[in-house]
Structure 1
Amino acid sequence: MATLTVTAKGQVTLKKEVLQHLGIRPGDKIDVDLLPGGKVEVAAVKTPPAAGSIESFFGSLRNNENIHATLEEIDEAIRAGWAGEVGSGDDR
């Protein structure tokens, strides 16, 4: 158990071990629920990952249109792309 000290302003600094246990980093938020008997429950607020982070990339390749391609079709598309035959925006 970690013992914390309350400042004259009524503030409490959570110790590093508590922050690590909660998975909290600078800028993160914490929820505090007041429980009966003078107890509290502290939990990390789960926020969506920031744009551009690796976490935001997970799931971005979801196949919502249910498109399927064979390995041969994928290989052909890669070859065409490298050859400049597709994706240039003009009609070739």
Structure 2
Amino acid sequence: MTHRVGTKGQVVIPKALRDQLGIQPGDEVSFSRHGDHVAVYRAVHRPHLRGRFRGSDLTAQLEADRAADRVRESAP
């Protein structure tokens, strides 16, 4: 399969490949370079990290750990 690159640098992903990769209109894709060729991957979305630890006592635990470190570091 060969396709011509348009003036804006755009290339159409052939339907057979889109179907095999599960790429739908509006999906995001990633590109990576492998030597002299480029690979196209369906983008994998990871969950947002913002608010992930809401309601946990992570900050209190980190502050307690740091306080213990200070005590240990100041001991002769």
TM-score by length of 2: 0.52
Moved over 3 A (4+): none
Deviation at 1:18, TM superposition (A): 1.4
Structure 1 unaligned blocks of 5 or more: 49-92
CA distance in 2 between counterparts of 1:42 and 1:12 reads: 11
Distance in 2 between residues matched to 1:4 and 1:47, nearest whole Å: 28
Match of 2:38 among 34, 37, 40: 40
Question: What does residue 21 of structure 1 align with?
Answer: 20
| Residue correspondences, number | 46
- What TM-score comes out, normalization by structure 1 length? 0.44
In structure 2, C-alpha distance between the alignment counterparts of 1:43 and 1:9, rounded to whole Å:
21
The residue matched to 1:34 in structure 2 has which SS? Answer: strand
Distance, in Å, in 2 between the alignment partners of 1:28 and 1:7 is: 20
Give 1:19 shift: 0.8
